[in-house]
Amino acid sequence: MNKEEVSVFDLVFSVLHRWWVVALFTIVFFVGSFVYTKTMITPVYTAKGSLYISAYDSGLALRTDYNDMLYAQELVKNYVEILTSNTFFKSVSAESGLDYTFKEIASMVSVSSLNETEVLVVKCTHPNPEHAAIIVETVLNNAQAEVARVVSGGSVKIIDHPEIPTATSAPNTRRNVTIFSLLGFILGAALVIIIELLDDRVKESVTLREKFNYPVLAELPMFDIEQASQKN
């Protein structure tokens, strides 16, 4: 194939002609990603609960005007910092009844605002689903005291308590297999295209005439060896 005149059609034809290379790469990556996901990656579970931020002390009269709502939203970042501090995680570690350091708990727990509202979502990801639920419950139960200790006039209320998760949150086997199978397909097709582009052999008489500007006097026809032997 003349490299100067390679067309998209030629490349597509080359990939289809060597379909087995693409299929082999796809199958290898499919099987490899499945086996790796199932045997090498530890499955984890995520338990979650939620808190509601209040911009007033629970002992005061309830106020729900617009300014209080804005104030509560401004406090969200501060509350997240408070509930993810080392001091707070040390109390969670001590009261959870589990043998985890505060640094280990900090690596498991995340606290974030739900769609920029006054609702905080507390999540814990761990290979043991029961431990994940216990840690989240401990965070929720200790959040009010920690907020009251740091913020004057602020409080939080528990909305949802955690449930023991039954389904893993990671790894996502289907997603991993799909991504790596697609990657294998692309690499297989790329290899075929590279081989075709590097192949400078003359495969057609037309290419020979165009490249050297010499007439072709004769061509050797293609023979089927089996049919020729049968005729003889």
Confidence of residue 203 (pLDDT cuts 50, 70, 90): low
User: Which pLDDT score is estimated for 75?
Assistant: 76
Could you give the percent of the chain with pLDDT greater than 90?
57
Give the tens place of pLDDT for each residue, 36-50: 999 999 999 999 999
> Taking Cα atoms as reference points, which of 185, 222, 201 lies closest to residue 30?
185
Mean of pLDDT values over 10-33: 91
Query: Is the preceding peptide bond at 171 cis, omega within 30 degrees of 0?
Result: yes
Mean of pLDDT values over 197-211: 67
Q: Is the pTM of this model over 0.85?
A: no
Confidence of residue 225 (pLDDT cuts 50, 70, 90): low
Bridge-partner residues for 112, per DSSP? Answer: 121
Confidence of residue 68 (pLDDT cuts 50, 70, 90): low
Segment (H or E) for 124? strand 119-126
Residue with tokens 């528990």, as numbered in its chain: 158
Q: Domains along the chain?
A: 3-38+172-231 (no CATH), 45-160 (3.30.70.1130)
Sorted by sequence, the CB contacts under 8 Å of residue 21 that are 6+ apart come out as 188, 191, 192
User: Which pLDDT score is estimated for 127?
Assistant: 96
Mean of pLDDT values over 202-214: 64
| Cα–Cα dist 71/73, whole Å | 5
Segment (H or E) for 113? strand 109-113
Confidence of residue 105 (pLDDT cuts 50, 70, 90): very high
Confidence of residue 66 (pLDDT cuts 50, 70, 90): low
Q: Is the pLDDT of residue 5 over 60?
A: no
Sorted by sequence, the CB contacts under 8 Å of residue 182 that are 6+ apart come out as none
Mean of pLDDT values over 138-160: 90
Q: How far apart are the first and last CA of the chain?
A: 35
| Cα–Cα dist 48/44, whole Å | 13
- What does the CA dihedral 203, 204, 205, 211 come to, rounded to 10 degrees? -70
On average, the pLDDT of the chain sits at 84
* Number of continuous H segments (helices) and E segments (strands) in the chain: 9, 4
